[in-house]
Amino acid sequence: MTGKVSFEAVDSYINSLFVDDDPSLDGAIERAREAGLPAIEISPGQGKLLYLLAKISGAKRILEIGTLAGYSTIWLGRALPENGRLISLEREAAHAGVARRSLQAAGLDPRCEVREGAALQLLPEIEPSFDMVFIDANKESYPAYLRHAVRLARPGGLIVADNVVRKGSVLAPAGVDPQAIGAASFNQALAEHPRLEAIILQQVGIKGHDGLAIARVRDAGDD
């Protein structure tokens, strides 16, 4: 092959290999579009990565901050065992309604609950401990979400956060936009937190240039 191959083309190639056509996931996207929800859900490849992280970690309890139309919720819910439990927090009632319909269509509503309301109001009422916390909501609140995630995740559990690079604007966020400032503050807190070991995966593809943060909560016996 000659010429430059786009990141988008490579991303589509990867998705074609590892993500099968799926009526439930496709239906979630269709419901979101019909309801006028923004097209900001994770990509199919990111969904598969979340699924694998949950499976590898043996997650039985998952907390999701930011539901949107339930696309990522379906991926995470499918990684749970039959007795598993997922709680997803969504500020917008219309979004939560779409997500619930998609979870029901996917057969996941018995173990996936969508709670409506601002996450920072709901999080103090939630009790530990979770095997995995996925953060994908308003970036201005990411530092606060991280504090709650550390409290709620069990030792050895995972904390994953999307959109933490934002086309590189986190390198100089001041004066750019509040979401870049929030993501940059989150990244700094993630790197410095004594209870976490973490990394950011820079990602380019059909969702543009961004990144996914992955952190593990340290066990008491860790060095």
Counting the structural domains of the chain, the total is 1
**Considering the domain boundaries, does residue 1 fall inside one?**
no
Q: Is residue 208 part of a domain?
A: yes
Is 15 within a domain? no
Q: What's the pLDDT at 222?
A: 73
Domain span including residue 211: 22-217
Whether residue 203 is contained in a domain is answered as yes
The model's confidence at residue 221, banded by pLDDT at 50, 70 and 90, is low
* pTM of the predicted structure, to 2 decimals: 0.95
The whole-number average pLDDT for the span 100-124 is 97
In a domain, 6, yes or no: no
- Range 95-122 average pLDDT: 97
- C-beta atoms surrounding 214 within 10 Å: 16
Q: Check whether 73 has a pLDDT greater than 60.
A: yes
CATH number, domain containing residue 132: 3.40.50.150
Structural domain includes residue 125: yes
Q: Are 215 and 57 in contact (CB under 8 A)?
A: no
Within-domain flag for 134: yes
pLDDT in tens, 39-57: 999 999 999 999 999 999 9
Q: Considering only CA atoms, which of 108, 173, 110, 116 is closest in space to residue 139? A: 173
The answer as to whether 196 is a domain residue is yes
Answer whether residue 1 shows pLDDT above 90.
Answer: no
